């Protein structure tokens, strides 16, 4: 792993931890200062590590975060006695305790629930959580939520303002409020994972560190009995199933390998087993939600020994059930894609025509790529090329652009993709 990749990896794993710990020490009213300080720590690391990496980068960052505690105290104009106590007195033991693994987890869980506090506007909660827990930039949040960057910036400002104005404390929700809050928490983890599994970044399609971080946070929630739900287990299963295929999604040249051509021997069985176990636990309650259906769809793909042996009829039924629960354009698009696999072209066309691609925001290119596939299989080469050209205009990711370029060449030549 290159130095820059190490820093990026550590940023994803450590940012949320540091922000959470420091917030527990200084309070939510100082969140903006805390985020700036943690950002400074990583900038400092990227400069100092240019020539030589420390033997233990995570320990270096932890020590730097502890040192920033004193800096923060000065920034918020704390008195000298308080600084001395944190450095030398009994309080220093408390400070060190906060950096123990179980306390780090506790702090992060608190932060997750604060991000999903009902005082915050529901439209602001997820973006704020992605920023504070996973260190997403405004651009990454806009990609994950399919919103403009300026909208995200305003949303983050509103969230911080609401926290200050309502004087929120850094605590877990009371028992009666947990079910409502946990669903929002899971939605945040779902988005973090999705940004890793299908990144909105221009230069990379898969961001394994985000997938790993989402799985870690979900596992952390499931460890707490008071936070366990069937939805949580279903989401964990979904993440495991998708992660099992990560090694086969791109080749050594960073080229996309579609599901049809993936080397299924690379699919990681231990993760599949972990996902199967979570799916069993997810059925302990008589509640089914979108994560159950998405996980079941992913499981069907994993069961198939080859692309040709995929049970498309069952997958269609699962997608239709999912769409009944949550009728959004991406689910409808997936139904159309499955109908194409089933060679039910008239129904696929009806589904495609009902979709407004603009509602897919940054993912609108997927709609036009699907239209290209429809026109290709129905032997309308001219319209297929027009659709793939539209997809190429809209796609930002380089690997996807290269994939679509090859697809266009195959449409022109008449060769199968």
Residue range 363-368: average pLDDT? 94
Residue 384: per-residue pLDDT: 96
Sign of CA dihedral 339, 343, 344, 349: positive
Residue 84: per-residue pLDDT: 47
Compute the CA torsion angle 223, 225, 231, 234 (nearest 10 deg): 40
Three-state DSSP at 198 gives: coil
Are residues 145 and 136 in contact, defined by beta-carbon separation less than 8 angstroms? no
Written as six digits, the tokens of 370 are 């699907």
Determine how many CB atoms are found less than 10 A away from the CB of residue 177: 13
Residue 80: per-residue pLDDT: 45
Residue 78: per-residue pLDDT: 53
Determine how many CB atoms are found less than 10 A away from the CB of residue 92: 14
Residue range 271-299: average pLDDT? 94
Residue 367: per-residue pLDDT: 96
Is 90 exceeded by the pLDDT of residue 86?
no
Euclidean distance between CA atoms 228 and 182, whole angstroms: 9
Q: What share of the chain is helix, strand, coil (3-state, %, to 5)?
A: 75, 0, 25
pLDDT in tens, 163-194: 989 988 888 888 888 888 898 899 889 988 98
Is 80 exceeded by the pLDDT of residue 296?
yes
Determine how many CB atoms are found less than 10 A away from the CB of residue 142: 22
More confident residue, 367 or 40: 367
Is 80 exceeded by the pLDDT of residue 401?
yes
The angle at the Cα of 294, spanning 13 to 149, to the nearest 5 degrees, equals 50
DSSP string, 281-326: HHTSSS---HHHHHHHHHHHHHH-SSGGG--HHHHHHHHHHHHHH-
Percent over 90 (pLDDT), the chain: 46
Residue 260: per-residue pLDDT: 92
pLDDT in tens, 308-362: 999 999 999 999 999 999 989 999 999 999 999 999 999 999 999 999 999 988 8
| Average pLDDT of every residue of the chain | 86
């Amino acid at each position: 792993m290159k130095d820059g990749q190490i820093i990026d990896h550590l940023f994803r794993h450590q940012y949320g931890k540091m922000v959470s710990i420091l917030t527990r020490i200084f309070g939510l009213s100082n969140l903006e200062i805390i985020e700036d300080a943690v950002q400074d720590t990583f900038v400092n690391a990227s400069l100092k590590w240019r020539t030589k990496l420390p033997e233990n980068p995570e320990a270096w960052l932890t020590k730097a975060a502890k040192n920033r505690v004193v800096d923060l105290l000065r920034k918020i104009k704390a008195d000298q006695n308080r600084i001395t106590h944190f450095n030398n007195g009994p309080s220093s033991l408390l400070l060190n305790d906060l950096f123990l693994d179980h306390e780090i987890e506790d702090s992060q869980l608190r932060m997750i629930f604060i991000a999903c506090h009902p005082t915050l506007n529901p439209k602001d909660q997820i973006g704020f959580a992605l920023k504070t827990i996973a260190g997403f930039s405004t651009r990454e949040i806009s990609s994950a939520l399919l919103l403009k960057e300026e909208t995200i910036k305003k949303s983050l400002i509103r969230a911080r303002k609401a926290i200050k104005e309502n004087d929120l404390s850094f605590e877990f929700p009371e028992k009666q409020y947990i079910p409502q809050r946990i669903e929002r928490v899971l939605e945040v983890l779902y988005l973090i994972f999705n940004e890793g599994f299908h990144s909105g970044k221009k230069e990379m399609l898969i961001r394994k560190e985000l997938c790993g971080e989402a799985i870690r946070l979900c596992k952390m929630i499931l460890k707490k009995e008071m936070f366990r739900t069937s939805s949580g287990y279903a989401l964990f299963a979904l993440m495991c199933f998708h992660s099992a295929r990560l090694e086969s999604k791109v080749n050594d040249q960073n080229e996309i390998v579609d599901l049809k051509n993936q080397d299924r021997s690379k699919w990681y069985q231990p993760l599949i087993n972990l996902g199967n176990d979570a799916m069993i636990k997810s059925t302990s309650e008589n509640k089914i939600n979108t994560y159950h259906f998405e996980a079941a769809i992913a499981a069907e793909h994993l069961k198939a020994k080859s692309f040709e042996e995929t049970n498309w009829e069952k997958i269609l039924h699962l997608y239709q059930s999912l769409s009944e629960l949550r009728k959004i354009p991406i689910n409808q698009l997936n139904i159309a894609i499955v109908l194409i696999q089933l060679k039910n072209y008239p129904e696929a066309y009806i589904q495609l025509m009902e979709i407004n691609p603009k509602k897919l925001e940054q993912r609108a290119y997927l709609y036009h790529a699907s239209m290209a596939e429809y026109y290709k299989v129905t032997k309308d080469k001219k319209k297929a090329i027009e659709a793939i050209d539209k997809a190429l205009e809209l796609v930002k990711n380089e690997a996807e652009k290269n994939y679509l370029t090859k697809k266009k060449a195959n449409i022109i030549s008449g060769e199968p993709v």
